[in-house]
Amino acid sequence: MAETGQKFPEVQGGGSLIVAWQVKGKKVLVVGGGEVAAGRILHCLNADAAVTVISPRARLNSEVAYRVAHNQVTHIDRNFLPSDLDDDAISMVLVAVDDPAASTTIWKLCKERRIPANIADVPPECDFYFGSVHRDGPLQVMVSTNGKGPRLASMIRKFIAKQLPSNAGQAIETVGQLRVRLREMAPRPEEGPKRMAWMSKVSEAYPWDEICGLSEEDIGNLLRFYPSGKVPSLDELKAMRASPAGKDVFDGSFGFSVGA
């Protein structure tokens, strides 16, 4: 194939594919009840997964015991059995026990059944890793070292979190509301590229603090500019607040004006 003269990103092998795995309502099996298991369980509950914990009650730490007592997870009070993997509804298995031989056995059983598994502290026996996560409402930022330096990942995550605006999560919530209403207003598939381009303009047009402060009325007024593909300035948008019904004159071609 002839060279086009275009420059493309260099391939950097050795990484992992970082994705947001949607496990809402799906069954996740956690083997173990200690500190590491507690962290895994919290991650899964935050993602609205249906978590089943297999561990003798005497080995549950206080956090996992709390989850069990408050019916946040399903608890099986015994050690793991191979038959626990016979449930076709299991989406993933997380192993966090202080028994390397048992962990490897469970991993091999998962491989036989093609169930994605994570074996704590054993990177070669992991289909996926848990990174260090910063959470602010809908905002999630994950730092992964591909299992090579979990503590360092935590330090880097904390550094990144300090650089983010304190209200980033709320700004994303507001943008999310705008996207939902825009899709309701322009639902046709062929509108997709235009919706995406307009949303990009909106996201880049206003500072974080101002996006956080947009009200339902502001979002409604902002959507009136979508047909023209334009985005009003903040001053224009604020001037439209509480405009008397029927008094606005707006055709999308130049902005808006308010009648006397």
The tens-digit pLDDT sequence of the chain (260 residues) is: 556 678 898 998 888 888 889 999 999 999 999 999 999 999 999 999 999 999 999 999 999 999 999 999 999 999 999 999 999 999 999 999 999 999 999 999 999 999 999 999 888 899 998 888 899 988 999 998 887 888 899 999 999 999 988 888 888 898 999 999 999 999 999 999 999 999 999 989 988 888 888 889 999 999 999 999 999 999 999 999 875 544 444 444 434 333 33
Q: Do domains 27-130 and 132-164 have the same CATH topology?
A: no
44 neighbors 73 (Cβ within 8 angstroms):
no
Give residue limits of the domains in the chain.
Answer: 27-130, 132-164, 168-258
Query: Cα–Cα distance between 258 and 63 in angstroms, integer?
Result: 58
Q: How confident is the model at residue 250, as a pLDDT?
A: 46
Query: Cα–Cα distance between 92 and 147 in angstroms, integer?
Result: 18
Query: Cα–Cα distance between 157 and 143 in angstroms, integer?
Result: 6
Which class does domain 27-130 fall in?
A: alpha beta
Q: How confident is the model at residue 145, as a pLDDT?
A: 87
* 8-13-16 Cα angle (round to 5): 110
Residue 85 identity (one-letter amino acid): L
- Fold classification of 132-164 is Double Stranded RNA Binding Domain (3.30.160)
Q: Please give the model's pTM, rounded to 2 decimal places.
A: 0.74
Q: How confident is the model at residue 2, as a pLDDT?
A: 56
Query: Cα–Cα distance between 121 and 150 in angstroms, integer?
Result: 10
Q: How confident is the model at residue 253, as a pLDDT?
A: 42
Kindly name the residue from 77, 99, 121, 248 that is annotated as catalytic.
121
Among 51, 9, 2, smallest CA distance to 30 is for 51
The verdict on whether 121 is a catalytic residue reads yes
